[in-house]
Structure formats: structure tokens, C-alpha cells
Structure 1
Amino acid sequence: MTKAQSHLLRRGRCSEPGRLYLLTTVTCQRKPLFQNFHHARLVVRQLRQSEQEQACRSLAWVLMPDHLHWLIELNAVTLDTLMRRFKSRSSFALHKAGVEHDPVWQSGYQDRALRREESVVHVARYIVANPLRAGLVSNVRDYPHWDAVWL
């Protein structure tokens, strides 16, 4: 989707507290900023901050070199608020650490509300298996930037 069409991602978007969402966002120009371990951990800290603020409950996530997949249960904020805060804080942390890539994140994000009949564990397994499918590791346990509540 071109930048001129990115507003179409928002069409029909709703935020329902208690609902499960799979969120995906990518770095600007797909730059692999998170190949750097320290930079990746700064972003992970901001994922955890969102949960500490009770904006969401993280069920599973994986931070790839140039994008994030995040399975959440939304609490009393909107998806837009959650993602705006996360991207803002993570960008600030990265810039403070010396990352000169500006902006860090591509505008917008993709969200998919999970249907009740979908297996949440199946979606979580799909998320954490991303490093395997990308050929980054031969065992998901060897990839340092993921988590799931079922561990």
C-alpha cells in the first residue's frame, strides 16, 4: 500500500476493550534497526511499558529486524492511542541512544481483530515462529526478541 493510501488502513477500524488484536508495524523504509541487540531491547522495554500502564495485555510478540508483530488484549485505550504512545516512546528511546534514522517507524500500522473461533495459541505460535520462517535462527529459542504468556 502506498503512503497516499495508508489512510485506508484506518477505514472501519474500531477499538473494543477486551478484544484480541494482532498488530503489525514496520520501520520506515524497512530499515533493519533491530539487528542491533541494544536497540531491540529499548523497543521491547516500551512494549512492556504499555502493559505496565494497563493499556493492553501482551499475549505474544516478536520484534523482527524491521517490524513488530504484537498480539494483545486491548484495555481501556484505543488502538490508535496504544500505537501512538508505543511508537513515540520507542522512537524517543532510540534517538536518545543515538539512532539517527528519522522517522523510526513507518506511519500507520495494521491491525486484525481475532474472531472468537480462532485459536489464540495458534496465532501466537505463528507470531513467534517468524524468526524461523525468515531464516534468522534454526530454533526459536535462539531468537532473543519474542515472548508469549504461555511460557
Structure 2
Amino acid sequence: MSQIGKLAALFALAALGGCATLTEDSTDQIVEVHVVQNNRELTGVGCVLYNELGRWFVMAPGRVTVARYARPLVVDCARDGIGRAVEVAQSRYDAHDLIGTVLTTGGIGYVMDTYSGAGFAYPPVLTVVIPKVEQPRDPATAEAPANSVF
């Protein structure tokens, strides 16, 4: 093999090494979902996670495998008597991988990783905060206001 051929083969291997689409087994990611209300973690709360690639269900606290994508992941959690909340988890491209991919593939790897979602990831732990639902007071059982003593 000529010197130019060896150099071309070495460059091709380096280019493939920087592209997550070609080097990773999957574009899936496991995320852990927790639900909090009034500074306490709740259990048995149903959550639907979705992005443009699909929908996934998990009972919080719990783990679920989602498809990575360049766009946000929506987390919608609810339970009767507790309430409902929706949070949005932003997808992030690893800066180290981005620089390596752009340098080694001339930007082609970045385009492939953006299209497939392989170069992006969501935060590994997602926390949804459900606001406390105020129960209406029954006027018959409400306490009378106390008199102030000065």
C-alpha cells in the first residue's frame, strides 16, 4: 500500500471515530424520573415522556429508556388527588464530542449525529415538581380568627 493510501485509510478511521452515530451501539438513553411535591418525593406517580421520536411511560420514581434526539424531551406527570406538572428537559450535545467530531469528520459526523440524535443526551435524572394543590376550606369547620392581644 502506498504512503498516500495508508494516510487516507488512517484519516478515514479517525473520521469514523469522531462520529457517535457510527461508534455507538444505540441512540437510546436511560433516564431516571422523580416527582416532588412540597419538598417530598412522591411514589406511584404516572409519567409520560415524549419527543418527536416517540412516547414512553414510567411510574415515578423509576427509570425508562427513551430515544435521544436534538430537541427537548417533555415529561408529563400526574396522579389523582396530587396534581399534575409538565417539565421540559433540554437535549445537549457534549462539547468535547462536538469538537472532536467536527475536527475529525469535517462536520459530516456532526450532521449525522444531529440527524440521528446519537450525539445528544438528556440529563440522566429528571425531577418534576408538582405544585401543592390547595384544598378548599369548609366554612363550617374553619377556625375563627383569633383576637390579637397587644
**What is the TM-score of this pair, normalised by structure 1?**
0.29
Bigger-Rg structure (1/2) = 2
TM-score (norm 2): 0.30
More helix as a share of residues: 1
